[in-house]
Amino acid sequence: MISEAELIVDRRKLRRRVTFWRILAIVLAIATVAALAWSQGWTGGDQIARVRIDGVITGDQKTMDLLKRVEREDRVKAVILRIDSPGGTTAGSEAVYDAVRKISARKPVVAVMDTVAASGGYITALAADRIVARGNTITGSIGVVFSMPEFSQLLDTVGIQMEELKSGDLKAEPSPYKPMTEKARTASMELVMDGFSWFKGLVAERRKLPMPAVDVLSDGRVYTGRQAVANKLIDELGDEGTAVAWMEKDKAVSANLPVRDWRPESEREGLGLGFSAAGLILKSLGLKGFQEAAQRAQLDGLLVLWHPAQ
């Protein structure tokens, strides 16, 4: 039999345990909210927002929502775009460019290039009011790519023939199941050149360069930060501190404002189901390049992408 005294002791222990777990749950909830608030720039007052544009640019909804929140937040007095991207789809890069231009209409924006800001990454930088890069940053790659695999010889080898019924010669062309016809090649090249003309127009407009100079710079090559400064593709060499100093000097933004990281509401990586967990595993194994290659393989349409591995 359990005595009354023992029951009283057991009840007190139970109460202490319940109280401990309640306090722990409250502390964890507060910490979670605080971390979310910090990541979204909700803490404190006026600030400079740091927004990272990393990896393959697709104009995904979480990135667009983030840029819209930054645009609307009155406490954000200026924005630093930290770009580390080889580019992405032409339409996705256009969407990000337009979103950054809307931010720039309300507050100063400086692009700070990290390791790579090429093709669509450079398009994103063009939307900023000023572009800063390291001396050895890789940038440029002004051009458009339209590529796809062609399996006809493989199909012949294994004895497979594809039959098609279509409404016109150029429907579903070019096709991966047969060599590209001249008509399909001409139509596809018109797509590429239209996108290329748009890209060059952005460079001429934003960098205030004459089109003949842009034509020379737009053969698809990449440039180091030093070469980009010499060719007026960017403004100066430096880092985030350089960006803040320019904001203070030219835009009257206080250099004492804290720089806060703004992140998408969802930090899931990748372009489809399974890429979030896979991305973490590949990163932990030092194989992030395989993750990026898998992302690129899923891209479709016109691309503004620098991919030296191919």
Indicate which residues carry an active-site annotation.
119, 171
- Spatial distance between the Cα atoms of 54 and 51, rounded to a whole number of angstroms: 10
Contact at 8 Å (CB) between 70 and 96? no
Measured CA to CA, the distance from residue 135 to residue 229 in angstroms comes to 9
CB 45 within 8 A of CB 10: no
Residue 117 near residue 83 (C-beta atoms within 8 A): yes
Number of H helices, E strands in the chain: 11, 9
Report how far Cα 30 is from the mean position of its chain's Cα atoms: 30
Residue 56 CB: number of other CB atoms within 10 A?
Answer: 24
Q: Are 56 and 271 in contact (CB under 8 A)?
A: yes
Task: Provide the angle, in degrees to the nearest 10, between the axes of the packed helices 61-72 and 90-104.
Answer: 10
Helix, strand or coil, per DSSP, at residue 108? coil
Rounded to an integer, what distance in angstroms lies between the CA atom of residue 181 and that of residue 72? 49
Give 185's contacts (C-beta < 8 A, 6+ positions apart): 174
